[in-house]
Amino acid sequence: MSNKRYSNAVDEAIASNGQKKARSHAGSTINRIVLICAIVILLISGAFCARYFYNMYADKQEAEKIAEMVVTETQPQETYPAEPTEVQPQYREVYTQNKDMIGWITVPNTAINHPVMQADDNNYYLKHNFYRKVKRGGSIYMDYRNSADKFDKNTILYGHNNLDHTMFSDLEKYKDIDFYKTAPVIDFNTIHGNYKWKVFAVFLTTASPELDNGYVFNYIYPSMDDDNFMEFIAEVSKRSLYHTDVEILPTDKILTLSTCTRDMDLNRREQQDARCVVMARLVRDGESTAVNVSAATVNPNPKYPQLWYDKYNLQNPYRNDEKWYPRGA
């Protein structure tokens, strides 16, 4: 081989080797970048998870500390002291911390054991905790239109559902009739008196008209006349996931517990404006608090909002139903 040809061959070998090294270096650089990105994403995800579980733990600890301030003692049911501003002894310590507290709710076999707040609107305690600090979990609170000194036809309480057993997350347990049988009676006391409520209905609905053929079932209306109230109860019964033997009369008063639900989300990233609602009836004067839970039966065809039928690709048999609207008392 001539010196020139030999020199060209060497040059080509060196160039080829250089290209291989360049490609190898480039590949190694890309791999390092991918690894670094993966580590960063993992660290960020870990930080979010750690923050989520820390907040959940902190919220539970806070709720337990507030509950510890309540003095457990037996009080006569449905009695008010002579002075309407006087607070029941068991709630006085809690009340001194925040005088927006108007009562206390406890649901058996759940983590629901919280003070109930009330502000001048329905937004404040959606984002503030008992100590008036901005908090994602908010508080349990009564509709601002309801009276904290007496019960309207329909008393409404709201709370977040963060799927973490805080606030009203555990309300969704009532979707299961077997759970209902373990907790048919709810305690919702005011700062003036103690009251028990018999659960009679659980249903899913929406808060946006575009999710139910342009209609919103207004279950959060405080006052209705007797006839309209019974029409309302009939509509609730049609929607309820199961039926109980709890009787409802025109003169009765009900408690509505409302929280969000993910049951109608079309995907994991987009939450729909859907609600899980539990309704209970105030135990009447002289009535037993006992409930015959064995009489409860599953509703084979509850009325859902259109969104539910769309999600499961089903025909809506109630699409042409007459729409119920509230009329004031």
- What local confidence, expressed as pLDDT, does residue 242 receive? 98
Number of domains making up the chain = 2
pTM comes to: 0.80
235 found inside a domain:
yes
Within this chain, do residues 53 and 167 fall inside the same structural domain, yes or no? no
Within this chain, do residues 62 and 81 fall inside the same structural domain, yes or no? no
320 found inside a domain:
no
The residue with greater pLDDT, 151 or 12, is: 151
In this predicted model, what pLDDT tens digit does every residue of 200-240 receive, in sequence order? 999 999 999 999 999 999 999 999 999 999 999 999 999 99
Task: Find residue 186's DSSP bridge partners.
Answer: 197
Residue where the block lists tokens 């939450």: 271
Within this chain, do residues 63 and 212 fall inside the same structural domain, yes or no? no
Within this chain, do residues 300 and 201 fall inside the same structural domain, yes or no? yes
CATH code at position 307? 2.40.260.10
244 found inside a domain:
yes
Q: Which two tokens stand for residue 236?
A: 């609730």
In this structure, of 14-28, 33-47, 232-246, the range with the lowest mean pLDDT score is: 14-28
324 found inside a domain:
no
| pLDDT-derived band at 270, boundaries 50, 70, 90 | confident
- What local confidence, expressed as pLDDT, does residue 74 receive? 47
- What local confidence, expressed as pLDDT, does residue 28 receive? 75
Mean pLDDT value across the chain: 87
| pLDDT-derived band at 31, boundaries 50, 70, 90 | confident
- What local confidence, expressed as pLDDT, does residue 278 receive? 98
Tell me: pLDDT of 77 over 70.
Answer: no
| pLDDT-derived band at 173, boundaries 50, 70, 90 | very high
Tell me: pLDDT of 316 over 90.
Answer: yes
Maximum average pLDDT range among 48-57, 67-76, 261-270: 261-270
The burial of 107, by beta-carbon neighbours within 10 Å (0-12 exposed, 13-18 middle, 19 or more buried), is given as buried
Domain boundary among the residues 40, 68, 96 is at 68
Within this chain, do residues 131 and 50 fall inside the same structural domain, yes or no? no
Tell me: pLDDT of 17 over 90.
Answer: no
Domain boundary among the residues 44, 68, 92 is at 68
Within this chain, do residues 249 and 121 fall inside the same structural domain, yes or no? yes
Within this chain, do residues 99 and 126 fall inside the same structural domain, yes or no? yes
- What local confidence, expressed as pLDDT, does residue 50 receive? 60
Tell me: pLDDT of 96 over 90.
Answer: yes
For residue 16, the tally of other CB atoms under 10 A from its CB is 10
d(CA 253, CA 290): 18
- What local confidence, expressed as pLDDT, does residue 5 receive? 55
| Dihedral sign, Cα of residue 241, residue 243, residue 247, residue 250 | positive
9 found inside a domain:
yes
Within this chain, do residues 172 and 305 fall inside the same structural domain, yes or no? yes
> Residue 32 is inside which H or E element, if any?
helix 3-68
Within this chain, do residues 140 and 220 fall inside the same structural domain, yes or no? yes
Tell me: pLDDT of 81 over 50.
Answer: no
323 found inside a domain:
no
The residue with greater pLDDT, 1 or 153, is: 153
- What local confidence, expressed as pLDDT, does residue 83 receive? 39
- What local confidence, expressed as pLDDT, does residue 10 receive? 45
**Sequence-ordered list of residues with C-beta below 8 angstroms from that of 181, at least 6 positions apart, any chain:** 293, 294, 296
317 found inside a domain:
no
Within this chain, do residues 145 and 274 fall inside the same structural domain, yes or no? yes
Residues of the chain with pLDDT > 90: what percent?
69
d(CA 43, CA 54): 16
316 found inside a domain:
no
- What local confidence, expressed as pLDDT, does residue 55 receive? 59
Tell me: pLDDT of 268 over 60.
Answer: yes
Within this chain, do residues 38 and 150 fall inside the same structural domain, yes or no? no
Maximum average pLDDT range among 12-26, 56-70, 156-170, 287-301: 287-301
Tell me: pLDDT of 46 over 80.
Answer: no
Domain extent at residue 289: 77-311
DSSP state of 142: E
Within this chain, do residues 203 and 282 fall inside the same structural domain, yes or no? yes
In this predicted model, what pLDDT tens digit does every residue of 123-133 receive, in sequence order? 999 999 999 99
In this structure, of 51-60, 78-87, 90-99, 298-307, the range with the lowest mean pLDDT score is: 78-87
Domain boundary among the residues 9, 38, 68 is at 68
Residues of the chain with pLDDT > 70: what percent?
81
d(CA 268, CA 234): 34
